[in-house]
């Protein structure tokens, strides 16, 4: 049947007119719309990429499953950062060419199609819906995936998307909520697809500005023993190095979970050529082990979020520190995201319209910009709020 058509409001060309207006403001545009990192890639990652650029894994074909060193690093990372021993729960891993590719291809790689239903949060990353549509399956949106009663009796459910911390809202699920989702999905023969790309970017609402100097506490992992019952059956986790290590352009991510499903996906990926380049596999290995740099990046984002929240409050938004992820999700002052986009453009500030993510009454502000841009945006918001 091939790829099916899709429809989505997620089209960045729709905000071009607001960017044009923002660029006309004195000192130019500050773009808080897209979550593309601006900070330096860790030195260890860059060195690993350079060192591997002439290795056998560069001039020869790389392995779809990843090098032995990369696979070891993934297992170490899950053990040390996610409290998961993959080898004990029947889990396998495969690196992916960024997380978006993995999300967009997920329903297809699960062999879903006509008559199959994929559950997802109503407010969420748009590619969940696009990937389901491309596979020819049906999207079923719910306000809260943790409310399992809202979807467990829907005929044909074959997969359930979970995103904790959530993009765009920042909301996180606790272990009990994740366990209820896993149990309900298993009861109906569905696969849990846990997008944990922001797992190491969690925040404390009561923080006084001092971040944890010893380690990072991430959101619960769907493969943790108290969530999956010590068995990876029917559970897949996605993770990305794009935000934790500023490696969006490297396209480094992974799928981990149910070994039978991962094995099937790996064979399919091999034939489709969905393979992480050899030198990038070396860079990914270094990124997974560069925990000190991840901690520094975590603290940068925490400081930027706190500053932006204060600026948005000064402007009149009911803004609060998110539980996780890199965005502030606020209700539009006008009640309509597009009107607020126009008002903000007059200050030279660009946000993301909530319609992209499923709710046109909200906006998303990203902190994947420099400290200087955050400070400038806050200053403009304070001026705008005083008018």
pLDDT tens sequence across 121-154: 999 999 999 999 999 999 999 999 999 999 999 9
Q: What is the pLDDT of residues 316-350, one digit of tens each?
A: 999 999 999 999 999 999 999 999 999 999 999 99
- Please compute, for residue 300, the number of CA atoms within 13 A of its CA located in the half-sphere on the CB side: 21
Rounded-to-integer distance, Cα 269 and Cα 282, Å = 19
The pTM (predicted TM-score) of the whole model is 0.94
Q: Is the pLDDT of residue 211 over 90?
A: no
pLDDT score at 143: 97
List domains and CATH numbers for the chain.
12-40+293-386 (3.90.1150.10), 43-290 (3.40.640.10)
Q: Is residue 206's pLDDT more than 80?
A: no
Q: What is the Cα–Cα distance from 382 to 22, expressed in whole angstroms?
A: 17
The 3-state DSSP class for residue 91 equals: strand
Instruction: Indicate whether 381 pLDDT > 50.
Output: yes
Tally Cβ neighbours within 10 Å of residue 375: 15
Query: Residue 337's closest CA among 312, 361, 364, 366?
Result: 361
User: Phi and psi at residue 194, in whole multiples of 5°?
Assistant: -100, 105
CA distance 207 to 211: 8
- The string of DSSP letters for 259-300 reads HHHHHHHHHHHHHHT----HHHHHHHHHHHH-HHHHHHHHHH
Residue 209 pLDDT > 70, yes or no?
no
**CA nearest neighbour of 86 among 73, 75, 77:** 75
- How high is the pLDDT of residue 213? 38
Is-contact 216 297, C-beta < 8 A? no
State residue 1's pLDDT score.
55
Q: Which two tokens stand for residue 93?
A: 């891993």
pLDDT band at 207 (very low <50, low <70, confident <90, very high): very low
Q: What is the largest CA-CA distance in the chain?
A: 62
Check residue 10 and give its pLDDT.
76
The string of pLDDT tens digits covering residues 226-275 is 999 999 999 999 999 999 999 999 999 999 999 999 999 999 999 999 99
pLDDT given at position 114: 95
How much is the mean pLDDT over the chain? Answer: 94
Query: How far, CA to CA in Å, does 56 sit from each of 52, 53, 60, 277?
Result: 8, 9, 5, 12
Task: Give the pLDDT confidence of 284-317 residue by residue, as tens digits.
Answer: 999 999 999 999 999 999 999 999 999 999 999 9
pLDDT of residue 216: 72
210: pLDDT strictly greater than 50: no
More confident residue, 217 or 60: 60
pLDDT given for residue 215 in this prediction: 54
């Amino acid at each position: 049947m091939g790829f099916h058509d899709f429809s989505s409001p997620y089209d960045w060309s729709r905000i071009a007119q607001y960017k044009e207006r923002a660029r006309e403001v004195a000192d130019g545009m500050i773009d808080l719309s897209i979550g593309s990192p601006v900070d330096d890639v860790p030195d260890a990652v860059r060195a690993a990429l350079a060192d591997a650029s002439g290795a056998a894994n560069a001039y020869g074909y790389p392995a779809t499953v990843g090098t032995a060193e990369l696979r070891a690093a993934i297992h170490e990372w899950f053990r040390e950062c996610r409290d998961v021993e993959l080898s004990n729960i029947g889990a396998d891993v495969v690196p992916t060419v960024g997380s978006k590719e993995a999300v967009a291809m997920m329903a297809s790689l699960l062999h879903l199609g006509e008559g199959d239903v994929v559950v997802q949060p109503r407010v969420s990353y748009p590619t969940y819906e696009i990937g389901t549509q491309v596979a020819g399956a049906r999207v079923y949106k719910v306000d809260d995936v943790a409310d399992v009663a809202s979807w467990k009796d829907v005929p044909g459910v074959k997969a359930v998307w979970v995103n904790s911390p959530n993009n765009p809202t920042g909301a996180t699920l606790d272990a009990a909520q994740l366990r209820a989702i896993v149990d309900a999905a298993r009861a109906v023969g569905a696969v849990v697809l846990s997008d944990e790309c922001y797992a190491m970017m969690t925040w404390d609402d009561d923080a006084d500005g001092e971040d944890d100097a010893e380690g990072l506490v991430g959101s619960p992992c769907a493969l943790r023993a108290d969530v999956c019952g010590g068995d990876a059956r029917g559970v897949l986790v996605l993770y990305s190095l794009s935000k934790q290590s500023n490696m969006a352009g490297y396209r480094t991510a992974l799928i981990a979970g149910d070994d039978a499903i991962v094995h099937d996906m790996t064979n399919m990926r091999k034939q489709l050529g969905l393979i992480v380049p050899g030198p990038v596999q070396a860079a990914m290995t270094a990124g997974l082990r560069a925990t000190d740099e991840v901690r520094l990046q975590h603290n940068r984002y925490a400081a930027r979020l706190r500053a932006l929240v204060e600026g948005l409050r000064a402007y009149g938004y009911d803004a609060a520190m998110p539980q996780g992820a890199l965005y502030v999700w606020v209700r539009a002052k006008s009640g309509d995201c597009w009107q607020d986009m126009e008002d903000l453009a007059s200050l030279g500030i660009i946000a993301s319209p909530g319609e992209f993510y499923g709710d046109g009454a909200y906006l998303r502000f990203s902190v994947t910009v420099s400290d200087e841009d955050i400070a400038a945006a806050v200053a403009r918001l304070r001026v705008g709020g005083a008018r």
